[in-house]
Structure 1
């Protein structure tokens, strides 16, 4: 939906104020009348916002937050609190103990979480009585699109490495894949934080390249899709870590081809996203259905394998690869939803 703008001249009253007139149809649509009071607030450095009496202006978001940690609080609980505050857009987070001091393992975990998970954050104060975390990265230093492209690159990389680990029975490479999952999540958390900030401010929304809040919602789902792809690569890598038997070489060749195909579907879906191309997205969905051909080839091979463990593992790896293609379809469907208006008949 396009925004309706009106142009008005600013007039000087000759004293200490300037005045502008408001369009009559705006006044009628909002049910206003002569004598009503209008609230005016300054948003950023370029916008003025008018609020009719029935609408309360949003208060400015606090830039700092403080959480208290119980002496027996477990590290995962602390991490969840830090992530939640990071998502909410706080620039400074203070972590204090409810009583006495932060325990050494709690301090260590907080510092590790900041390093691994909270992109653009640094610990600027560290003691047993308080840890202060500051988010230093600027909203426009790393755009949402730029961070998303980095996520996609990492997801593709770990997927390829996971299959290489299977082929080579390389446990060291498999371990590296499991460790990289945190890096994908780190970019995902960063994007969610930026979307949360942008959706509350129309000016920032436009600054980071979004047309409307609906696009933000779409990107939130896209991030989850890429995170899930990384999770499936980790599941493939864990197969290598947990079992010693090698997968049948002929089956591995098909799995490699299947993975290459799944990643090509991801490439096509992302291309449609970045081009806002409805037809490309539709073609991607049709293409993704072809992954079933790899399943058929794989079943023919596994039907001739007597070792039930090898058969189960091979089919589980194939299922994880198939999920990558399915999440790529989800991305393509988001592109369809965001661009359907372009296909409507224009009178």
Structure 2
């Protein structure tokens, strides 16, 4: 950080000098325009280029230990913001690597294969920040999570295994949206102009959104876990009495809805109500937990305990969202 004196030019224009090192780094020349953005009591000065420069990464599969490692690397490059990823196919056992590259499009939004030859494959990430704001995607994730929870209650009530399997299938879309939001937030932290395009009012909100998107992804994971455990439970005990699980599902849905509404409206008072309602969920959780000790079949008890633990985690995540809502409703003066 450097201190700069303010000078008056022409009696009414206030002027400061720019750091020479920064001018050289950005290749700024006399006559160029700069973007000046007000940010509370601060000013953000940047070059006039609204879009960040396209970033390209080149990798060789001969330098990667396995096809699974390639998958993790490609996801990492997507998240940090690369726009083009060139993969050199320079080893004989390349088929598994090619399969990973093709499958990556199933859970990374905006990724397309633009080159596929004997020697190389190239991925291009084609995303328009204006068309998919961060808040819109978070709302979409909430909508999917909510529908999964509601249908979970229906599946338990009606002993509908088909619906339970459909719930499991929906979890993949949450993963796709999760990766997209993380990529957006990384760019928004670095580029104020991109943050504005994504509908993020303040870059400091990115930390809160990063917590929320992870919470929404984890909620979907736990709903999937409950559905899988229920399917296994149904196979060994088709007439399992799950009325208490159905009731706690309703309470968790209501608490989840309120926490997300508090976040989207930045309503700290509503967020406080969430913590009060969570006490009711905790009481139900405790009552069910005690009943599980009465189940004679050990495998059934274990599966119901697994389901109950996931319900507890979902409720806890609603509290995490409420905490973020309180933090974001408090403006820094």
Task: Give the TM-score band, short-chain normalised.
Answer: 0.7 to 0.9
**1:22 match:** 14
* Structure 1 residue 218, shift from structure 2 partner: 0.6
2:75 paired residue number: 83
In structure 2, the CA distance between the partners of 1:338 and 1:119, relative to structure 1 (3 Å rule), is: same
Unaligned runs of 5+ residues in structure 1 are: 1-5, 12-19, 50-56
2:94 aligned partner: 103
Cα offset, 1:323, TM superposition: 1.0
Equivalent position of 2:43 in the other structure: none
Matching of residue 257 in structure 1 with residue 247 in structure 2: yes
Equivalent residue pairs, number: 309
Worse overlay, 61-70 or 142-151: 61-70
**How far 1:178 moved relative to its partner?**
3.3
- By how many angstroms is 1:117 displaced? 1.5
- Shift of the 223–37 alpha-carbon distance from structure 1 to 2, 3 Å rule, reads closer
Corresponding residue number in structure 1 for 2:130: 140
> Which of the residues 122, 125, 147 maps onto 2:115?
125
Q: Under a length normalisation based on structure 2, what TM-score does the superposition of the two structures give?
A: 0.80
Other-structure match for 1:321:
311
Per the TM alignment, residue 93 of structure 1 is displaced from its structure 2 partner at its CA by 1.3
* Alignment CA distance shift 1:65-1:71 (3 Å): closer
Distance in 2 between residues matched to 1:166 and 1:103, nearest whole Å = 45
Is this contact kept in 2: 1:268–1:281, CA < 8 A? yes
From the superposition, tell whether residues 148 and 253 of structure 1 become closer, same or farther in structure 2 (CA, over 3 Å).
same
**1:45 Cα deviation from its structure 2 partner:** 8.7
The runs of 5 or more residues in structure 2 that have no matched partner are 1-5, 38-45
CA displacement, residues 203-252 of structure 1 (integer Å, 9 cap, x when unaligned): 222232223222001100101101111111121122144442237644x1
Deviation track 1:166-218 (CA, whole Å, cap 9, x = no partner) reads: 55555554444333322111101000111111111112222322232220011
| Aligned twin of 2:214 | 224
Aligned residue runs from structure 1 range 172-187, under 5 A: 172-187=162-177
- Give the superposition deviation at 1:81: 0.8
Counting only pairs closer than 5 Å after superposition, residues 190-229 of structure 1 correspond to structure 2 as: 190-229=180-219
CA RMSD of aligned residues (A): 3.3
- TM-score of the aligned structures, taking structure 1 as reference length: 0.77
